[in-house]
Structure formats: structure tokens, C-alpha cells
Structure 1
């Protein structure tokens, strides 16, 4: 599914919030990467984010 830039921002933001509150990370994080937004973007790029969009 192709997401709009707004949906992408919402997905990455929601996932980053989950990661910052201690949710398990679904990718192997490089040694220097600590920012939850960067980790969420890495998950999004690898298509591993467990969040979907429902359109009506």
C-alpha cells in the first residue's frame, strides 16, 4: 500500500512514541542510533512497522 506523506508522518510518529516508551524494536539498530524517530524510520523503510492505515 502506498501511503501519503501525512500517513507516513503519523505512522513514524506513533511508532517512535511507542519505542520511546519501551516497546520492542523490530530491527537491528546500529550502535550509535539512539533517537526513536530514526529507529522508527528504519523500521518503516524495512516495512516492519506494525501499524496500518484504514481508508474509507
Structure 2
């Protein structure tokens, strides 16, 4: 896996896009506790574990 530093704007965009996907019914990739129901919290959890299926392309 190639790691790159993301700007705070890229990070916010990725987490927001993934939270929207989760809110619209996309499956959650990781097992989360039953009390974690907020899509933003789930998206942040997935981001911190590096499993969000979204890539960044810079021009």
C-alpha cells in the first residue's frame, strides 16, 4: 500500500463521502460495536484503520 500525506480537506472529503455511502445503506467494511450508529463515526473508524475503498488522484 502506498501511503501519502492527505490534507485536512482531502481527509474531510473522504470521510464525508464514505459517511454518505453508509447512511444510504452501503455495507460497513469493519465490524463495529452495536452502539456505534453514527455514519460519520463509522467512516472515521474505517479511515483510521485504512480500509475505506476511496482513492485520491491529484493532478
**TM-score normalized by structure 1?**
0.96
Q: Distance in 1 between matches of 2:5 and 2:30?
A: 21
How many residue pairs end up in the alignment? 56
Matching of residue 22 in structure 1 with residue 17 in structure 2: no
**TM-score normalized by structure 2?**
0.92
Matching of residue 3 in structure 1 with residue 3 in structure 2: no
- Shift in Å at residue 31 of structure 1? 1.9
**Gapped runs of 5+ residues in structure 2?**
none
Backbone CA RMSD of aligned residues = 0.5
Partner of residue 39 from structure 2, selected from 27, 33, 36: 36
Q: Distance in 1 between matches of 2:37 and 2:58?
A: 33
Q: Which runs of 4+ in 1 moved over 3 A?
A: none
